[in-house]
Amino acid sequence: MKGIALWKLVSVIAVTLLSAWYLWPTYRFYSMSATERTALQQRDPKKLADIRKNAIHLGLDLQGGMHLVLEVDRTRLKPAEARDAVDRALEVIRRRIDQFGVAEPLIQREGEDRIALQLPGLTDRERARELIGKTALLEFKLVRSPDEVRTVFGRLDTYLAAQGAGRIAGLDFSGADSSMRRAPLSSHFMDLGGAAFVRDEDVAVVEQLLATAGIDSIIPSDSQIVWGDGGQSNQGITGRSLYVVKRTPEMTGGSIATAEARVGLDQTNPGAWGVSVSMTPRGRSDFSTVTANNVNRQLAIVLDGKVNSAPVIRERITGGDASITGNFDIQTAKDLSIVLRAGALPAPVTIIEERSVGPSLGSDSIKKGLTAGLVGTIMVVVFMLVYYQLSGAIAVLAMLLNIFYLVACLAGFGATLTLPGIAGIVLTIGMSVDANVLIFERIREELRNQRGIRQAVQLGFDRAFRTIFDAHITTLISAAFLFQFGTGPIKGFAVTLVIGLIANLFTAVLCTRIVFDMMLRRDIKRLSI
């Protein structure tokens, strides 16, 4: 008996100390003021990140954030590709959000072609929308030779002139010179070599001309016209380049192994940010072949349908490294590196629903949840102390330990605390004293049958255990089904309930029994129950 009692005591002490160790980061993080967190962020950002990672995470309903519903457009995909497009999009979005740094996001499929996201604590709304929705289709395409480019634009000029350029897209060329009427498109080009350079003020006109009905049939089927990024300069004039590239890419973003935002990749602008790309072994082999077969030709890096850059291949490149430069700042460069590492979306996604939960609403929810839990706990404590006297105090101690262990488990498992989770904690409080009520009533029954105090306690615990165990097992089965088939909030409730039930078995049966065993070491004449 002494050996068993010692083993029980050591178990309770060990579990309590372990729980305190898991809860320490939570206490440190949430006890720090905003000023202290800012100071620690500047002094030791890694330490603050570790504390935040190990602390209990608050859900969207408690700390605010974003709720998004995305719709995957599968209309342009082949039937074989469309079948798993949503699942592939979900996985890509999950990888992007993980690298974005959102703690405990909820990402799940809804219906046939929708994905629901909950992003707790997210404050940069526009950046999140851009990062999640970016298709990030990276392609390496050969640029047509200058002669081929002039031939393509010449054919387009002939077609547009024959159609009557003055009527195209509502443009008025009545006062234009003859060259503009003969060459409605290329007359807007400042320079025409490997690409056409268009001034900023002429970009809209060129876009309208290129949107003319039937113009796609004039462009060779193996080629396409692609705009370059904005902000380019030619002889001090800003504008955009217009490329004619091979329609079939030589390589795609699937060849990329890693992508990293770096500064100093652009030799003409050493202080500018860009993205350094390293390729997979297969990608390095393909890149080596492409560069060996196309020396002195331009290879366009096309991102989401726009030419990011089109460097000239000077020699065969075997290293498998490339760089993407342009009009980047540190944030856009990092975001591009994230989407390139995570991969391209298999189909475009559209945000069809967006809700933002403010931190003030989260604070109100926490206060109301804590108030409800506190009122419920006080009522339970008063009832147990009045009805069961000293034994009720023991039950209250077990209940407090139960809550302590439950919260520590949430911290240890990295779970997210939500309003349904708080409801699970409140329910656990009731169930924790319920187990002790069963034990105390059995002890009372044995005392009424003229059993001795020690024997009544022994029989009370032994005979109540089966009932307590059965009740907890049935509830655990229900919680398991809630977790398996429920959505986010229901799962949060189920997780908290499961942990609370297991902790309750430990405290009601083991911790309470230890206190009674310690009391019965003395020769007491009356049990306060």
**Contacts with 87 (C-beta within 8 Å, 6 or more apart), sequence order:** 109
pLDDT reported for residue 225: 93
CATH code for the domain in which residue 130 is found? 3.30.70.3400
**Is residue 411 within 8 Å of 25, Cβ to Cβ?**
yes
Does the residue 256 lie in any domain?
yes
The CA distance from 493 to 490, in Å, is 5
CA distances from 385 to 393, 448, 510 (A): 6, 21, 20
Instruction: Out of 330, 357, 384, pick the residue that ends a domain.
Output: 357
Contacts 24+ apart (CB under 8 A), 260-265: 260/337, 261/328, 261/330, 261/333, 261/334, 261/336, 261/337, 262/333, 263/330, 265/323, 265/324, 265/325
pLDDT reported for residue 17: 93
Round to the nearest angstrom and report the end-to-end CA distance of the chain.
Answer: 23
Instruction: Out of 276, 311, 342, pick the residue that ends a domain.
Output: 342
Predicted confidence (pLDDT) per residue in 91-137, tens digit: 778 877 776 666 667 788 888 888 888 887 776 677 677 767 666 66
Instruction: Mark whether 514 and 401 lie in a shared domain.
Output: yes
CATH code for the domain in which residue 281 is found? 3.30.1360.200
The CA distance from 60 to 120, in Å, is 4
**Is residue 306 within 8 Å of 324, Cβ to Cβ?**
no
The CA distance from 385 to 399, in Å, is 13
Using the structure block, give the residue that is written with the tokens 């890149």. 287
CATH code for the domain in which residue 421 is found? 1.20.1640.10
Instruction: Mark whether 394 and 321 lie in a shared domain.
Output: no
How many CB atoms sit inside 10 A of residue 258's CB?
13
Residue 177 class from Cβ within 10 Å (0-12 exposed, 13-18 middle, 19+ buried)?
A: exposed
The CA distance from 401 to 511, in Å, is 9
Does the residue 204 lie in any domain?
no
Backbone angles phi, psi at 404, to 5 degrees: -60, -45
Tell me, what amino acid is at 390? L
The secondary structure of the chain in percent helix, strand, coil, rounded to multiples of 5, reads 60, 20, 20
Predicted confidence (pLDDT) per residue in 324-380, tens digit: 776 677 877 777 777 677 666 777 788 888 877 765 555 676 677 778 778 888 888
Tell me, what amino acid is at 46? K
Once rounded to an integer, what is the mean pLDDT over residues 182-193? 80
Instruction: Mark whether 406 and 480 lie in a shared domain.
Output: yes
Residue 383 class from Cβ within 10 Å (0-12 exposed, 13-18 middle, 19+ buried)?
A: middle
- 51 compared with 164, residue with greater pLDDT: 51
Token digits of residue 286: 């393909």
Does the residue 427 lie in any domain?
yes
Does the residue 262 lie in any domain?
yes
- DSSP assignment letter at 177: -
pLDDT reported for residue 135: 62
Instruction: Mark whether 494 and 363 lie in a shared domain.
Output: yes
Token digits of residue 30: 């949430």
Mapped onto helix, strand or coil, the DSSP state of residue 85 is helix
Instruction: Mark whether 130 and 7 lie in a shared domain.
Output: no
**Contacts with 423 (C-beta within 8 Å, 6 or more apart), sequence order:** 369, 493, 496
**Contacts with 333 (C-beta within 8 Å, 6 or more apart), sequence order:** 261, 262, 273, 274, 275
Please report, rounded to a whole number, the percentage of residues in the chain having pLDDT higher than 70.
Answer: 88
CA-wise closest residue to 56 among 400, 476, 422, 313: 422
Token digits of residue 364: 């109100």
Does the residue 40 lie in any domain?
no
Instruction: Mark whether 264 and 330 lie in a shared domain.
Output: yes
Q: What is the 3-state secondary structure (H, E, C) of 259-288?
A: EEEEECCCCCCCCCEEEEEEECHHHHHHHH
Does the residue 274 lie in any domain?
yes
| Burial per residue of 393-431, b for 16 or more beta-carbon CB atoms within 10 angstroms, e otherwise | ebbbebbebbbbbbbbbbbbeebbbbbbbbbbbbbbbeb
CA distances from 236 to 115, 190, 193, 239, 417 (A): 46, 12, 18, 10, 57
Q: What is the mean pLDDT of the chain?
A: 80
Alpha helix segments (H runs only) across 195-319:
200-210, 281-293
**Contacts with 134 (C-beta within 8 Å, 6 or more apart), sequence order:** 304, 335, 339, 345
Instruction: Out of 342, 370, 403, pick the residue that ends a domain.
Output: 342
Residue 176 pLDDT level (bands cut at 50, 70, 90): low
Does the residue 56 lie in any domain?
no
Instruction: Mark whether 370 and 353 lie in a shared domain.
Output: no
Most confident of the following: 89-93, 163-167, 441-445: 441-445
Once rounded to an integer, what is the mean pLDDT over residues 41-45? 79
pLDDT reported for residue 370: 75
pLDDT reported for residue 427: 81
pLDDT reported for residue 166: 52
Residue 281 class from Cβ within 10 Å (0-12 exposed, 13-18 middle, 19+ buried)?
A: exposed
Instruction: Mark whether 125 and 110 lie in a shared domain.
Output: yes
| Full residue range of the structural domain in which residue 303 is found | 251-342
Residue 236 pLDDT level (bands cut at 50, 70, 90): confident
Instruction: Mark whether 362 and 394 lie in a shared domain.
Output: yes
Number of structural domains in the chain: 3
Residue 1 pLDDT level (bands cut at 50, 70, 90): very low
Instruction: Mark whether 423 and 493 lie in a shared domain.
Output: yes
Instruction: Mark whether 383 and 445 lie in a shared domain.
Output: yes
Once rounded to an integer, what is the mean pLDDT over residues 397-407? 89
Residue 45 pLDDT level (bands cut at 50, 70, 90): confident
How large is the C-alpha radius of gyration of the chain? 34
Does the residue 386 lie in any domain?
yes
Residue 3 pLDDT level (bands cut at 50, 70, 90): very low
Alpha helix segments (H runs only) across 58-145:
60-63, 79-83, 85-100, 125-133
pLDDT reported for residue 284: 87
pLDDT reported for residue 488: 61
- 148 compared with 190, residue with greater pLDDT: 148
The CA distance from 343 to 140, in Å, is 15
Stretch among 30-34, 309-313, 341-345 having the lowest mean pLDDT? 341-345
Tell me, what amino acid is at 418? T
Instruction: Mark whether 286 and 370 lie in a shared domain.
Output: no
CA distances from 201 to 178, 237, 240, 439 (A): 21, 11, 10, 85
CA-wise closest residue to 135 among 341, 339, 332, 335: 339
Q: What is the DSSP string of 429-484?
A: HHHHHHHHHHHHHHHHHHHHTT--HHHHHHHHHHHHHHHHHHHHHHHHHHHHHHHH
Token digits of residue 143: 């640029």
pLDDT reported for residue 187: 84
The CA distance from 418 to 296, in Å, is 60
